[in-house]
Copies of this chain bind each other. A is one copy, B any other.
Amino acid sequence: MGAIAMNSDTSAKIIDGKAVAKQIREEIAADISRMKEAIGVVPGLAVILVGSRKDSQTYVRNKKKACEGVGITSHEVHLPEDCTEEEVLRHISYFNSDPSVHGILVQLPLPRHMNEEKILNNVCIEKDVDGFHPLNIGRLAMQGREPLFVPCTPKGCMELLHRYGVEVKGKRAVVIGRSNIVGMPASLLLQRQNATISIVHSYTRNPEEITRQADIVISAAGVANLVRGSWIKPGAIVIDVGINPVDTDSTWAMPMMVVLANARLITPIGSGCLEQIDICYVRPFN
């Protein structure tokens, strides 16, 4: 996809996440096909789902579908809400030692009676495709180190910026939200690419003022319609990652998804924190 000059005119341009996702899926399918021919192996992804949350079930279903579409073998385990921590750990241990499984995803959130930290720490670091292991996060934060995997949603944001030819180096970037899953790793990724980052969160006193300074905004807050048009500098690039339940069903549908082979990652991008504004913004993948 050719780079698009985002700032050359004053009308809003929309980053077409759906088209980017399609292109990435095609690239991955070709990679996997070549890999199969060359070494006779295809990537395998194991997903562990505990309980029956609707949204988690949707995510898992979409991951499976995305795997099938590109030639990744998917392994799925669905455990009941009231299963024990030990059962989850047993499945992780099994997948850790299964050579046909190259990545393991434990769908979050886990039921309240389980220790999330303990469970995630048991996923072996070489198969931590979610990149949530503190060792991966530490490497992401450190100069001169490389994480084995990068959390998929912030990685997807960076991929969108790159595929639209947005130069990150030297830009002011504001990340709204500091979750372990999106906001924090997004800020680390932007900084790795030499953006000047600021992180806005629930204790920030003047979020509009800070956000208005940004050339790039990644909005990943758990509050619907938090970011208003007045927060955004004309010409800024905005990626809206938040998923918040609003009155239409569609904002919960997060169908797209990709999965990746060899740490080149794909992501669901949702919608929700951002008011519909007349500035460049990212269309959700769905």
In the assembled complex, A179 has its CB within 8 A of some CB on chain B: yes
In the assembled complex, A191 has its CB within 8 A of some CB on chain B: yes
In the assembled complex, A73 has its CB within 8 A of some CB on chain B: no
Partner of A180, one of B137, B143, B195: B143
Stretch at the interface among A41-49, A104-112, A199-207: A199-207
Give the CA-CA distance A178 to B192 in the complex, in Å.
Answer: 10
Give the CA-CA distance A188 to B139 in the complex, in Å.
Answer: 14
Using CB atoms, name the residue of chain B closest to A213: B210
- Residues of chain B with a CB closer than 8 A to A199's CB: 191, 196-198
Using CB atoms, name the residue of chain B closest to A116: B144
Q: Which 4 A-B pairs have the closest CB atoms?
A: A134-B138, A138-B138, A137-B138, A198-B198
Where the two chains meet, the residues of A that have a C-beta atom closer than 8 Å to any C-beta of B are 117, 133-145, 169-170, 172, 178-180, 184, 188, 191, 194-201, 203-205, 210
Q: A133-B138, A141-B141, A170-B205 are in contact. List 13 more A-B contacts (CB 8 A).
A: A134-B134, A134-B139, A135-B135, A137-B137, A137-B141, A137-B142, A138-B141, A140-B141, A142-B180, A195-B203, A196-B200, A196-B204, A197-B199
